[in-house]
Amino acid sequence: MRATDDMTPSPNGDNSAKPIRIAIADDHPIFRDGLKQLLSLEADFQVVAELGHGDEVLPAVEAQKPDILLLDLRMPGTHGLTILQKLQLAGNGVTRVIVLTATEDKSELVQAMKLGTCGIVLKQSSTDLLFKSIRKVHAGEIWLDSDTTAAVMQHFATGSDDNGQTPGTHNGRPRERSPLSQREREIVGLVAQGFKNKEMAEKMFISEQTVKNHLHNIFDKLGVSDRLELALYAIHKKLHLQ
C-alpha cells in the first residue's frame, strides 16, 4: 500500500475547492501507476492511496477515508465482493465505491450493485468517461457503464438473491421511498427491462398516454427525472421489479 497526502495544484493555482479524494485498488502496477498519473492531472482529484492487494483495501479505507474507492473486484487476497460486503456492514458513510473492472461476468457486477456499489466502469472505457463517473458518483448519483447497464438491469429484474428473495424485497415487502401502486410497480419493472412506452402500452393493454401519465407519477413519487435514472434508482434502492 502507498498513501499520499500531497495535493496536485490546479493549473490556475486555486486550491480553494476541496478535491475529491480517491483511493485506487488494483493489482496491476502499470495500470495503477498510469491511472494515478491521469487522475493527478485533474485539479479536482487527489489520489490518497494506491493498493495492490485485497487485504490492504479495508485498512486503507478506514485510515484515509477517501471520497471514492476505485476497486478492481479480482485482486490477490480479499475478493472485491467481500470488501464491498464488509464496507456495507461497517456502514461506511464517507467512501463511495466505483468498481473499475475488465470482467465480463454480469452476475458479479449485479452482486456488486446489491452490495452498495455506486458505479461500474469497464477498464476499456475512455478516460473522460471514468472522470465523469467519479464526479457523478461523488455528487451522489449512480453510474453504470453503458455497455453493462442493460445486462445489469435485466439480471435485477429477473434474478433473485442468494437467500431466495426477489431483488427489491425485504422479508417479502418491497423497499420504496414512496408507495407505488401495483400498476406503477409493473411499469418500473418494464422500464428496468428496457421496454419503450409503446411496447409497455401494448403489453399492458393501455394507451401510450396512460403509460406516460404513470411514468410522470412515478418520477414524482420517487424523485427521479428520467427513465435511466428510474432504472438505476430501481437497482440501487432495490425496488420490486416485475
| CA 137 remoteness from chain centre | 8
CATH number for the domain whose boundaries are 160-236: 1.10.10.10
Where do the structural domains in the chain lie, given as residue ranges?
2-153, 160-236
Look up the CATH superfamily of 2-153: Response regulator (3.40.50.2300)
Taking residues 47-53, report their average pLDDT: 94
Q: What would the pLDDT profile of 110-162 be if each residue is shown by its tens digit?
A: 788 778 888 888 888 889 999 999 998 898 777 876 556 656 655 555 544 44
pLDDT of residue 112: 84
Q: What is the reported pTM?
A: 0.63
Mean pLDDT rounded to a whole number for the chain: 78
**Whole-Å CA distances, 126 to 31, 102, 157:** 14, 13, 28
pLDDT for 208 equals 93
Please identify which residue in the block is written with the cell numbers 401494448.
202
What is the pLDDT averaged over residues 17-26? 92
SS3 helix, strand, coil % of the chain, rounded to 5? Answer: 45, 15, 40
| pLDDT in the model for residue 144 | 76
